[in-house]
Amino acid sequence: MAQAVGRNRRVVLYGNPVLRQPTRLVTRIDDDLRRMMADLKTTMLTQDGLGLAANQIGETVSVFALSPRGADQDLKPYCVLNPVVVATEGQVEGEEGCLSLPGVYDYLPRPEFVRITGLDESGREMTVEVQGLLARAVLHEVDHLRGVLFIDRLSETRRRMLASRLKELEAREAAVQGCQNRRLSEPERGEGDACA
């Protein structure tokens, strides 16, 4: 079966409720899911992400994409369905960012080694063992699928320091959501419409 070619989709920003919604387990792999996984990988690569969770493109299924090449490993991007963290080792402090939180970076500790189980894109059981930057990325994406953002793992003081940037992102996302809702209810817009 030929692999679907994905399209670059919009990554939702902080403030979109889908980022706080725990995803549902994949129970069957169909053409819609295959297209979504192709979109997930294309979006991740186009927007220079190391990983991307399905809810970051507005899908509420338990799938994330990973790009090992982003951590200098010569492996093609792939998706993991229904990931479960089964082992972690060590701990290392490192900088983290997120496509849903552009311009927001901070340091936080994560395990240095991670083993997860899940399903591959064909629905076969798989085990993934990663370390370093990829371990950080995998845990970051698993958090996303649970409705957790990396900023939730920062201290209260650090979150307060990011408050103004987070408010800006919320406002940007609210504006996009407002335009999308208006497009659904009002197909014709006049000149000067901010949503045009």
Give me the active site residues, please.
Answer: 141
**Three-class DSSP category at 23:** coil
Contact 36, 63 (CB under 8 A): yes
Please give the helix or strand (H or E) that residue 159 lies within, else none.
helix 156-161
The continuous run of DSSP H or E covering 89 comes out as strand 78-89
Side chain identity, residue 139: L
What do you get for the CA distance between the two ends of the chain, in Å? 40
Cβ atoms 77, 45 nearer than 8 A: yes
Alpha-carbon distance of 77 to 65, in angstroms, equals 7
Query: What DSSP designation does 184 have?
Result: H
The Cα 147–Cα 158 span in angstroms is: 20
The whole-angstrom separation of Cα 196 and Cα 186 is 12
